[in-house]
Amino acid sequence: MIHGDIHFEVVRKQFRSMRPGKEIDAAVITTYSLALNNEPIPRFQSDVHILPPSALSSMMETYRENYIDLHTRKWIYVLDKEKKTFFVVDSKRKDAPSSDRTRINKFAGNMIDQLLVYAGYHSLLTKGTRSKPPQISWFPRYQQIHEQPNAYDCGTFVMKWMEVLDPTKLDAHSRYPIEDWSTEDLQGFRNDIIWQIILSSQNLHIQKAIQGAIETTIHKPSAALRSPYVQVNTDELKNLP
């Protein structure tokens, strides 16, 4: 139901994953990233571009890369192309927990670098030789953030961090300056995020989506959603059944 660079439809099954205590469907995270990228807000038009998680997943499948960590399945990679700095933002880990995860971090860095080149920017990889392949010219750093208070809100953290993270404040030597989020806060974020998706200006089927949300017992949104960046159609809010 979000029409952005990629047409995407949110179905009832994906809405249900936003209920309390559920692990969020990755399709919801991809849809939210498309909604943010297409909002007419300066932050997402010039300073920040979010690569949907499905894009990296597709690349991993293409190159037969696979990684599943039962303790943390969703995290964020942040690349500051001006400072040539690559960060990992993970609400369950403060460093790479295994050699496999380190390998995936390196793979992600290479893929993101290739996308930069496709977009017309210079590669951030060192030059390779016959005996030594090109390497990432920066080492992925883990940003210190507060740990999530439960085992199922990884996706909520990812979506909220996509929305509020300021790359200029990233620092591997100190904790990111933001207050802790409780389980109650995170459930509030879930409810607001699903309505931000439904009421996005990119949604071609708002009324159908509203009905689907109501049928899956998603709470109605507050009069003012808690996102400082996402704009919603207030007329649609007033007309909610």
Asked whether the predicted pLDDT for residue 157 surpasses 90, the reply is yes
Question: How do the domains of the chain map onto residue ranges?
Answer: 2-238
Alpha-carbon distance of 211 to 240, in angstroms, equals: 9
Cut 0.85: pTM above it: no
List Cα–Cα distances, 212 to 22, 109, 227, in angstroms. 18, 38, 22
List Cα–Cα distances, 55 to 33, 85, 126, 191, in angstroms. 11, 21, 24, 25
Q: Could you confirm whether domain 2-238 is CATH 3.40.50?
A: no
- Over the stretch 197-236, which tens digit does the pLDDT of each residue have? 877 766 666 666 666 555 555 555 555 455 655 555 555 5
Predicted pLDDT at 167: 83
What φ, ψ does residue 20 adopt, rounded to 5°?
A: -55, 135
Predicted pLDDT at 212: 58
